[in-house]
Structures are given as C-alpha cells and as structure tokens.
Structure 1
C-alpha cells in the first residue's frame, strides 16, 4: 500500500460518515462512528478517532501528523500511520483523492459491508430468552412528524405536564391500597382487555417518543417492532444514533422521552379515577391504569435496571457503560489494586452508584424473597420453602453467570458491532 508523502493529501473521510461524541470508559475515551450506507457502528479509541477526524481532504500528511503530535505529545510513525489507514480503508470510511482532486469510491466493498451488517443484525435478533421482531422502519414518518410536534418539547408544555404528573404519582402512591383493591374488580371482566390494550398502547407511544426525540436531535430511528425479553413481550424502537449526539442533554432527553409519555398518560387516568363512581367498573379500570402506570414509571426510573433511568444517568455522566465500569471500580477497590485506571472525578460517581445499586437491589431482593416465601409457605412447610428458595437462588446465579460469560464471548468475537 502506497503511503502519501508528507506534503501530499492523504485519503479523506467520506462526507456521509457520522463522527460521535467522546464517551468515557475507565481512563480512556472512545467514540462511535456510523456508516449510514452500510449500517455499521464502529468503536474507535481517542487516538484513532482523532486521526480519522483530521482526514478532511484539506490537510497534508505533515499537517495531520503535526496536529496529532500537538494533541498526544508524540509523532505518528510511518508503520502506525499505514496500519491505521489500512484499517479505515477496510471499513470503507475513506475515499481516495487523485491529483485532479477527484475521489474514488468502492461501491462493491460497501455492498459487502452492508450485507454483513444485515446478516449480523438478523443473527443477533432471536435467541431463546431475547428476540426482536422488526415490523416497520419509522424514520420517514418520524422525520415528517418531528417538526409538527415541536410544542411537545416546549417548556410551556413540558413543565406543567411534569408538575401535573408529579401530583398524579403522589396521589397513586398515597392511595396504592385503594387502587389495588379497585383494580381487582375487573379480573375476568371484559374491561380487563381494555386495560391490557391501553397499557400496550402507552408502551408503544413510549417507544415512538424515543424515536421521535432521536429524530428531532438529528438521529434516525431505524426499527419499530416487538421485543421478547423473557418473560415480557413489549414494543421497541431502535435509536442507536443516540451515542452520536454531541450534547449530553440531547442523549438524556432521548432516554427520558418514553418515561415522559408514561407520566403524561397518568393525568387522564387520574382524572378518570377521581371522576368515576367508586365501585363501578370504570372506576376499577381507571384505578388499575393509574396504579400500574405509576409502577411502570418508577421501575423505568430505577438506575439499577437497564431501563430508561439507567441510560439517562449513563448519558448524563458521559460514560459508555456506567454499570460495568462501577463493577470494575468496586472490584479494584476491594482488591486494592487497579484504581489508578479510574479518573479522580469519576470515583465519587462509582462509589455513589455502587452504594445505590447495593441498597436498591438488596431491598428489592428481600421484598421478592419475602413475598415468595410467604406464598410457598402456604403450599409446603417452612423448611421446604427455604430449601426451594435456596435451590432457585443457586440456579438463578448459575444462569446469570452463564449468560454473562456467553455475552462476553460474543462481544469478544464481534469487535465491530453493527447498529
């Protein structure tokens, strides 16, 4: 491969390549780079990303190397330069420039990369405990809809809506017992189907809101479909472009958009509960929607689950995977080695998040075990109930370890993750 001379123009990055914002992982910085023509998302380290961002078609190799040396304190050797250019070429991120200033593009290679990305997406969609079933690409519709719903993002709508929703949440928590009792009235009644259908509609709108907000801030929502995540079957919307947004608040807004829909939906449910006649089926319907809608909001906001609250926090602190990094931090802290790989400003975040996870996960585990033990005790004697709980705990632990190892093996075998 011929390496450009110091005063020659090197290949330039393709004009349609999208360069993502910096994300922290330990003491390093990573960036996502998207190729919209193939659908691939590439993850680059800080040095590789900086070099790619400098290949703008105007700077000579000497100028790029000088900028690299100014940024990282060392010059880029010829072997390293050649290796990086070859890597970018294999991924079809560059276009070659001729002496006349024209560019050369390899459409055949791009088609092959697009086919590989499609094949990997299809192979990763369906497993026993996790599967995605795409139904439609909503991006064109959301591109049309986004400018027409600008009022939805206005502070004049958002602030009053959040205040009203907060009142609804407080009411639902304070009257949880009454709501639960009312919701049981419709068990076996035709209105139970209405409750289920309404819940599914709210969840679907929740996912559409993620896609709409991603579209508003310049991203794309490429899939809308149904997700099987054992034991739940729910709608989903694919918004991978969020990792490319330069502003953290845009990433946070995109993650929060779904919860915002759930919060707004609580307002009519509360009005229906307050205005309907106690003891009626309409009262029971509104009560069940308000109760389970509130539970959905609170669960989504818990930062210990990989739901909207976790991703909001992840985006807010600018990290690639806060949970994984916190796990690494606490492992290093307990072993008393390896802490130097974590930045000083990140350590308080990992301490607080780790303590929060321990507190919430411990509380939730005790509540679930207590409830399960009470129910088992009705069928078997207490020693047998304890034995069954212990066996289930061991089985669940082994399953989690297996899934984590399998996920790690898959990740190690697929360094170039497609979106």
Structure 2
C-alpha cells in the first residue's frame, strides 16, 4: 500500500497540543487471519471499534510528543506509506472523536453507542463506582497452581450434584422459605445490611468462574472488576480476545457457562446455611439473602438485553459480533428506507433481537422503578 500525497507543512501545528494514543484500551485481532482487523474496546463506555492494521499502527504513532511532520516521517519509515498533513489531521480528528486518541484539555470519546443511540456513557462515568479493578493473572495463577482440581470434570460433577440437591431441598421446603423471605424483606430494611456484601461476593464468585475456566484453557485474563452502577452491582472479566477466539466452540461455551454455575453454587451454599442455622438468627437471615439476592443478580446476565453471558453466547452461536448494535442499526435504517440487503434469516434475526431488546429494556427499567419505589416508599 502506498499513499502519495504532498506534504504541506504548517507552522501552526507546533502551537497546538499533540494527540496521544490511549494505552488503557483493550485491543486484539478480530480473527486468526494475518490481514484481520484490530478490535479496540473502550472501557469507559463499553463501545468497541475495528481498525485496519495500518490504521491501528498509525494511531499508535501519536504519543503526545510527535508533530504531524514527525508522524508522517515515522509512517514513511515504519509503514512505508506517505501521509500528508491534511490526512493526518483528518485521521486525528476522527480518532479523537471516537476516544482512541486524546488531547490534553479537550473532551474526547463517544458518550453513546453510535449504533443504538442510547446515551449511557455519561451515566457510567458519573455513577459507576469501581470497587475492584485489577489484573487477576497473579491471583488466578496462584489459585490454579494450588487447586487445579477446581477445573476438573470430577469436581464439576460434584458441584452439579450439590446444586441439584440444594434446590430440590429448597423447593421441598418452599413454604417455610417463602415465610422467611417475607419476614426478612417485609418487616424492616435490615436485609440491606447483608444485601450488598452478598451481591458483591456472589458477583466475585460468578466472575471467578469465568476467569478460572479461561486460565484452565491458558487464556490470559487482563481485566477483572466489580462495581456499583446506580443501585445495581455489576462485574466483568475481559480475556485476551486473540487467545479466547482460538478456543473451540465447546471450550468457549464452557468459559461462558462457568459463571452462572459458580453463582448457582453460591446460592446452594446459602441454602445449606439456611437449613442448618437456627430460625430468626443473623446467620439465618444472611443465608436467606444469599439465596434471594444471588439468584436475582444472576437474572440480568441471563437476559440477552444486557451484555451478559446469554448475549455473549448468542453472538458466538450466530457468529455475529455486536449483534444487538447490528440489529438496531439494521432496523433503524430499514425504517428509513436505506437498510442494506441481507439474507432472509439475518433480517429475521435482526428484527427479533431489536424488538426483544426494546421490550426487555422497558420491562427492566419498570422493574427498577418498582424496586426504588419499594425501598423509599
């Protein structure tokens, strides 16, 4: 590739602050092809982009110290392309708008997903409280080296038997359990003492299930976090996409499944404590909250309207990255009379996902409103 464009030097560029490539972005090839694009994920707004390899390398030349002239020279030496000042300015403007490059003193980055138009970036920036955010590799290696049996098939069978037994026991005592739930959640707000500690530890177990299964398959996990977004606790694990995409379909399915399995195991422990503890005691109340809160916290990740385990499984099954965004964009463009032609099955998939997403979001926010009303009213 050779772009021949005349360089027009402009002294004014030296009076302007230089752009810098963001090193906190998560990057990786979209597939194993040597010509694959680079996927870039912005942790500030959960938006992902794709750049060509040359574009990506060119973006990394912006280090906050180089002028357009310097970058042009580096591009010529390293990438064997000639890029004019005008082209570099346009390229910088585009990447600053996307948030891939930043300029000191200037606001950059999208505050809403360009495919859906849902403005959630500012809310996340101001209302997401990061309680834990770390590179979990040292901890994962320590756990796996000392207890690799946690990832064995025999241990998985034992876990599933325990989960099944616990929930059979729960449903056999359903009347007793529902009375305890009513007493704890109706009489006072004392359940709030246990609620967030239980939710957060449940999420930690859930994400650890994902992370440890990734470690078992030698997939590096470079980000592990737990936070509170408005009234909702949330968690995340980000494996290195390049390594994760090399797993077989079955192995990827297992890494997705291990999160919900860990959450169910956590709830099963709560059921066991509830059955063994004395009624109307603090530990009995904690056990009830463990079962209720951890089960409820599992629901969002199982609903495909959220970026959870079920949604990830759907994108893998249909081989459609950013399935929800593609669906909303297709339906919006179709209603405007300018949607691209797609095969019939894809059109049906896009419409189904789009309609289900909007219905799901309405129901979800209605549920949140009812919960807030119950707490404050």
Q: TM-score over 0.5 for the alignment?
A: yes
TM-score when normalising by structure 1: 0.53
3-state SS of 1:222 partner: strand
Report the counterpart of residue 135 of structure 2 in structure 1. 137
Report the counterpart of residue 85 of structure 2 in structure 1. none
Report the counterpart of residue 43 of structure 1 in structure 2. 50
Unpaired runs of 5+ residues, structure 2, are 4-26, 42-47, 58-74, 81-98, 110-120
Report the counterpart of residue 308 of structure 1 in structure 2. 309
Q: CA–CA distance in 1 between the matches of 2:362 and 2:231?
A: 22
TM-score when normalising by structure 2: 0.58
Q: CA–CA distance in 2 between the matches of 1:339 and 1:118?
A: 31
3-state SS of 1:43 partner: strand
Using the TM superposition, give the Cα deviation of residue 213 of structure 1 relative to its aligned residue in structure 2, in angstroms. Answer: 2.6
3-state SS of 1:128 partner: helix
Which structure has the higher relative contact order (CA within 8 Å, separation 6+)? 1
For each residue in 1:88-141, what CA deviation from the matched residue of structure 2 results, as whole angstroms up to 9, or x when unmatched? Answer: 9459xxxxxxxxxxxxxxxxxxxxxxxx99989xx9899323464765432133
Highest Rg: 1 or 2? 1
Report the counterpart of residue 322 of structure 2 in structure 1. 321
2:241 matches 1:241: yes
3-state SS of 2:156 partner: helix
Residue pairs, 1:6-405, within 5 angstroms: 19-21=29-31, 32=39, 43-44=50-51, 89=78, 127-130=125-128, 132=130, 136-146=134-144, 148-159=146-157, 161-162=159-160, 164-165=162-163, 168=166, 171=170, 177-184=178-185, 193=193, 196-232=196-232, 236-241=236-241, 244-247=244-247, 248-340=249-341, 342-365=342-365, 367=367
Instruction: Pick closer, same or farther for the CA change 1:321–1:150 going to 2, 3 Å.
Output: same
Q: CA–CA distance in 1 between the matches of 2:158 and 2:77?
A: 49
Using the TM superposition, give the Cα deviation of residue 292 of structure 1 relative to its aligned residue in structure 2, in angstroms. Answer: 0.9
3-state SS of 1:211 partner: helix
**For the aligned residues, what is the CA RMSD?**
4.9
Q: CA–CA distance in 1 between the matches of 2:365 and 2:133?
A: 36
Q: CA–CA distance in 2 between the matches of 1:253 and 1:260?
A: 10
The answer (yes or no) to whether the contact 1:329–1:350 under 8 Å persists in 2 is yes
Unpaired runs of 5+ residues, structure 1, are 4-16, 24-28, 35-40, 53-85, 92-115, 379-419
